[in-house]
Chains A and B, each alone.
Chain A
Amino acid sequence: AQSVAQPEDQVNVAEGNPLTVKCTYSVSGNPYLFWYVQYPNRGLQFLLKYITGDNLVKGSYGFEAEFNKSQTSFHLKKPSALVSDSALYFCAVRDPRYSSASKIIFGSGTRLSIRP
């Protein structure tokens, strides 16, 4: 069965510093991986996804994520954090082998807090 884990409930970073939000997954085969962000009282907003190809995926708002198959990880990164990046971040995985019935599984979320 597919699963995804976000080992950190909260990440605190000073503005201007690089940030990393961690995600690991478990899928038999090659996964489809997603990152979403959720601001207070808002729905989830798509940031980026990995399907195939280049392991480094670039997304919205200057975020990027690196797919590492050997470590089964898909960590979200940004070179220089902004206070406005403070939000709840969700990693998600889908097993592409069962396209007709597969569903996306979300992690429990990581709260990112950027201090001025």
Chain B
Amino acid sequence: EAGVVQSPRYKIIEKKQPVAFWCNPISGHNTLYWYLQNLGQGPELLIRYENEEAVDDSQLPKDRFSAERLKGVDSTLKIQPAELGDSAVYLCASSSDRRSTDTQYFGPGTRLTVL
């Protein structure tokens, strides 16, 4: 079974430029998560999707961040414009449904560097 796929793996941009990350979850997984992981820290949830619906985006900085999951499968996370402080690893995860017991499976992440 293929795992969670993310692209690109690495991205270097200048501040004020836009950037987008793509995630393909495990087949059949209805719940999709985007996390931010700063160096030396644990992941922090940005947004959670149940199918197409964003059910928890309270931690997403909506002035510059946006996300979509149009057909309930793939998802895109966008930052526009990027700031120096956005440099981090962006992780995507999926689980089979939203129950608390379900295990989340993580992709390899996209390492963003903003210069």
**Contact (Cβ within 8 A) B40 A99:** no
**B14 interfacial by beta-carbon distance below 8 Å:** no
List residues of chain A with CB within 8 A of the CB of B104.
Answer: 46, 104
**Contact (Cβ within 8 A) B106 A104:** no
Most buried by B among A45, A106, A108: A106
Q: B74-114 vs A: 1/0 string, CB under 8 Å? A: 00000000000000000101000011110111111101000
**Contact (Cβ within 8 A) A46 B103:** yes
- Bound-complex Cα distance A99 to B106 (A): 20
Residue from the list B6, B40, B98, B103 in contact with A34, Cβ < 8 A? B103
User: Chain A, interface size: which category?
Assistant: 20 to 34
Which of the candidate stretches A36-44, A61-69, A72-80 sits at the interface with the other chain? A36-44
**Contact (Cβ within 8 A) A107 B100:** no
- The SS class assigned to the B binding surface is loop
Q: B1-19 vs A: 1/0 string, CB under 8 Å? A: 0001010000000000000
Question: Can you name 29 A-B residue pairings with CB atoms under 8 Å?
Answer: A34-B103, A41-B108, A42-B108, A42-B109, A43-B4, A43-B6, A43-B91, A43-B107, A43-B108, A44-B43, A44-B91, A44-B106, A45-B106, A51-B101, A90-B42, A92-B42, A94-B100, A95-B100, A103-B45, A103-B48, A103-B56, A104-B45, A106-B42, A106-B44, A107-B42, A108-B40, A108-B41, A109-B40, A109-B42
